[in-house]
Amino acid sequence: MAYPVSGQVPTGGSVTDSVRCRTHPELTYALYLPKGYASGRAWPVLYLFDPAGHGAEPVRLYQAAAEALGFILAGSNDSRNGSLQNSLEVAEIMQQDVQACFAVDGRRIYTGGFSGGSRVAATVALLSDNVVGVLGCGAGLPTLPNVPTKPPTWVYAGFAGLEDFNYAEMQELQGRWNQQQVVNTFFAFDGSHAWPPAPTMLEGLTWLELQALQAGTSTRPSTWLDSVYQRSIAAAAEQEAAGLLVAAANAYQRTSASFSGLHNVAAAQQGTARLVNSPLLAQQQAQQRTLHQLELTLQREAVRAYQQALSTRNDAAALDAAWWQQYAAQLGQLQHSAIPAEQHLGARALSSLRVQIFSRGYAALTAADYWAATTTFRLWTFVEPTAAEPYLQLATAYALSGQTSAALKTLEAAVAKGLTDRQQLEGPAAFTKLKQEKRYQKLLLHLPPAQ
């Protein structure tokens, strides 16, 4: 039996936040065992990887789905964004511990993750001989050497929010899987860059269960199959009635493929046949392709303009403010479009740009390249001129580069644009030398006392 940090023995039907690995007690994972768990039978297991090492977050979020389908969940508390090699080592230790302590079905081992954790989950599967399925949420595959690039033998379910900045990447991955004839599916949900909602993950786990039934590694009564099939058909029909024909066609096709050989799929095939020659479906598919290409173009243009900005150390010519303001205006127009798909695209593109700017600016600060950092964060103020965060980050770069007056002016702008958290001014070491300045002290008067 594994050793929980809390001292309580894991029991079925409840989440244990920290189970200590026996061979490496400094490593822990969150665990969920189904209510009916008993060591007399083997259970499917899903290993989960959170980008911040919060293993209990997905385990608690998906415990009801795991209960419904009889899955063990184990979420690493030590795998996080940073060193992939470290995450792989942590994953291996967690898997060994779970499979030594609990009754795991060796034919049904799955990995899943969100964002950087999704890349960890895929890498674990690519390097493993026993993983049969991957749930990739908000990010696809790693781009690293020594990771197999041949088509995997496992099945893959992708997930992304409609406003997730990695949505286009997940769509590209689905196209790659289709070309390589990898069994896969994709679930979109209302939201941004986050773990999928519990109902969406239940769909994903159900899809994995159907793949196991087709592979002969699981069994279910016909009543369960019929219930799930009818729900799938009803959901597809609801999308069709709402005029969401691309989503409806995908749902009918997924249902037909997932239940083939398990259930009569006439209703799913009829739904597909009904839509396949629809002019409206063709129109929506064409719009989807057009918007996808627009999204990729917007990403390329932003990268090109940023690289151009950094190609010279002449500060006066480093940034074309008008171009970035026009780019931001284009994203704003998309976000305020009457067409939902364009609204989502605009939100994704802005979110993607925000993430890229922050990560590149932070990297420049870490490398003490203050010119690159100030250039990057100035760019952010052009794109989001009414937000406080870009000005706060720019002030940090100015302060670290010794530009006291510019740092104070930019902090004043951040407060004017809504910064209210006093700790954001008093906490950073970058602002230590500013604290003796009267302008800095005056700024604090405008902020509420620290809690």
What are the start and end residues of each CATH 3.40.50.1820 domain in the chain?
3-219
pLDDT of res. 200: 98
Answer yes or no: CATH 3.40.50.720 is held by domain 3-219.
no
Beta-sheet strand order (sheet of 72-76):
3-4, 15-20, 28-32, 72-76, 43-49, 104-114, 131-137, 155-161, 184-189
The mean pLDDT of 400-404, rounded to a whole number, is 95
Indicate the pLDDT class of residue 11, thresholds 50, 70 and 90: confident
Average pLDDT, the chain: 93
Give the model confidence (pLDDT) of 334-390 as tens digits: 999 999 999 999 999 999 999 999 999 999 999 999 999 999 999 999 999 999 999
Indicate the pLDDT class of residue 105, thresholds 50, 70 and 90: very high
Give the model confidence (pLDDT) of 417-445 as tens digits: 999 999 999 999 999 999 999 999 999 98
pLDDT of res. 446: 85
- In angstroms, the CA 268 to CA 257 distance is 9
The reported pTM is: 0.92
What are the start and end residues of each CATH 1.25.40 domain in the chain?
281-445
The mean pLDDT of 135-145, rounded to a whole number, is 88
pLDDT of res. 259: 98
Q: Which CATH class is domain 281-445?
A: mainly alpha
CA distances from 437 to 389, 405, 422, 442 (A): 22, 10, 16, 9
Give the model confidence (pLDDT) of 247-285 as tens digits: 999 999 999 999 999 999 999 999 999 999 899 999 999
Indicate the pLDDT class of residue 22, thresholds 50, 70 and 90: very high
Amino acid at 46: L
**Do the beta carbons of residue 200 and residue 64 sit within 8 Å?**
no
